[in-house]
Structure 1
Amino acid sequence: MSQDMHPAAAETIRAELAAIGTGRSRLQQRQRRVRVTSSLIAVAAVAITTSAAAIVAAGLPGSTTTSAFGKTTTTTYTGPALIDIGRAPEGADAVIVDITCMNDVGMVTAPTDEGEAGFHCRDNRGRTARFLNGQLPAVGTTTISIGASPGTQWKATVQYASASTSDWAVNANGQTYGVENASGHPDLVPARADNGRKGWALFSQWYEAEKPETVNVYESDGTTVIGQAEVGVVLPEVPLDRRYIDDLDSLETATPTSRPAP
């Protein structure tokens, strides 16, 4: 057992937790396309994930479809633990991890392809977090490491999966449109106009506005305007509950031991 979380993962989550309610929060910067409210920020403070793939826009160009197969492993632990999920079946390139808080103490983390993903059990007893792009076991092992605070009781259901990401679409003007994925972002991203119509907006305007401004929402051609939307909403300052930082500081991880897969 290692008593320390990976420094890079710990710093990433700590920085995000400390930034909740301020303009520095990367999670909230990605949520500028919606009307930001204090209730949304409260939810973000409860469950922080560094994995963008945990949010899937099904059916849109560039979206990722994850299909589970093989046996399901379900286990319950208190504190950090290694879960043996067996040898990866042929074609598996991801792991789906469902974590349910069994009490309201501390925090649980799971390894994903984009870093550690964390879920606070404080005030979330009985709730489940799903991570669609869980990291495969390290070469030579059949286990994944779930980090947790010493007194955190949790249940995990784990299953191998295959993930397939579609290509972005391209309009007549040569602009790509679809959703962000591991390849980056397209020129046009999904947007909802203030009139309720769904369309597309320029990524550079939709996500990178530093102050409130009105931008056009287009059809997929990137030319036909179907409405406007206000972006760059100034986020309200929300005091961060110190308990969340304490949860993070209490995290421990289990270190896999390399051995031949059975």
Structure 2
Amino acid sequence: MNASMDHEFAQGLRVELVRRATTAHRRRWLALGAGLTLAAGVPTAAYAVHQLRAGVNEIDVTPPVTEVHTGPGQIALGPAPEETDQVWFDLTCLDPGTVDFPGGAAVTCSAGERSSGSLPLWSGRDMLISDDGVLTVDAPADMSWQISLWYQDVVVEPFAVTGNGQTYGTPNDVYGEPDLIAAIATNGEVGYVYAEDLRLAFGPEPTSPEDAVEYTERAAGQTALVPVYEVDGETQIGEFRIG
């Protein structure tokens, strides 16, 4: 399976790391006309990295609505309850092909492959789902697919702590970034990568606008692998690919 949002994440992660490395200097650079606008419209690491139940808890608000369609389709989830923060999807391709979501996200897979995750489909944020809770999905006329949708409430909690005193979970706006970030390895194993390994995957972090430009040019088209560990941060179970 190849989800196009994974490619966007590879780009977005590099941009996000540049942003984090240069936050303290952004005002001065903007005043000088540098204008760090690369992050516009690109998912950040907090959005794209798989969320485990440590730091960010996703609580189901409604039961899933499951439908099977051939070609384009509309799924009526109904108006979002007040406590809704996001819509979770579970998609199965019954035929090979690409299913396009609003806003440019897409999932490409072969027959029988399954993909799931959260997308910014909630009303009032990116408006990818209508106010009355209808999601419009595009797919080839001869492609059948099954999707389940349900509303979720996202509750941000303090990061859990390993026996070695390292925090782990999902980056968020409340508590920042843990030492170990939840991720899915290339072999499908779910574990954690060190935040520092992500930051340094393509070399030292940039410290100036010129460094940021050089950094993104150097990383463009490149692939880096960082180790994925069990929650102990020591037992390697796979690798996480960037780029």
TM-score, length-normalised on structure 2?
Answer: 0.51
Tell me the distance in 2 between the aligned counterparts of 1:131 and 1:156: 12
User: What is the RMSD of the two structures over their aligned residues, measured on CA atoms?
Assistant: 4.9
Counterparts in 2 of 1:61-72, with a 5 A limit? Answer: 62=55, 64-72=56-64
Counterpart of 2:122 in structure 1 is 136
Unpaired stretches in structure 1, ≥5 consecutive residues: 1-11, 18-23, 30-48, 192-197, 221-225, 237-262
> Which one of 154, 169, 173 corresponds to residue 179 of structure 1?
169
Q: Where do 1:34-53 residues align within 5 Å?
A: 52=47
Q: How does 1:51-130 map to 2 (within 5 A)?
A: 52=47, 55-58=50-53, 60=54, 62=55, 64-104=56-96, 106-110=97-101, 116-121=104-109, 124-130=110-116
**Over 6 Å off, 4+ runs:** 226-229, 232-236
Structure 1 contact 84–143 (Cα < 8 Å) conserved: yes
2:90–2:117 Cα contact (<8 Å) kept = yes
Ranges in structure 2 where 5+ consecutive residues have no aligned partner: 15-42, 183-190, 204-223
Mapping 1:11-22, distance limit 5 Å:
13=4, 16=7
Shift of 1:86: 1.2
Name the CA distance, whole Å, in 1 between partners of 2:67 and 2:85.
22
Offset of residue 147 of structure 1: 2.9
Greater radius of gyration (CA) = 1
Aligned residues: 172
Higher-RCO chain (CA-CA 8 Å, sequence separation at least 6):
1
Deviation at 1:190, TM superposition (A): 5.0
Structure 1-normalised TM-score?
0.48
Structure with the higher helix share, 1 or 2: 2
| Cα separation, 2, equivalents of 1:88 and 1:99 | 20
1:189 corresponds to which residue?
180
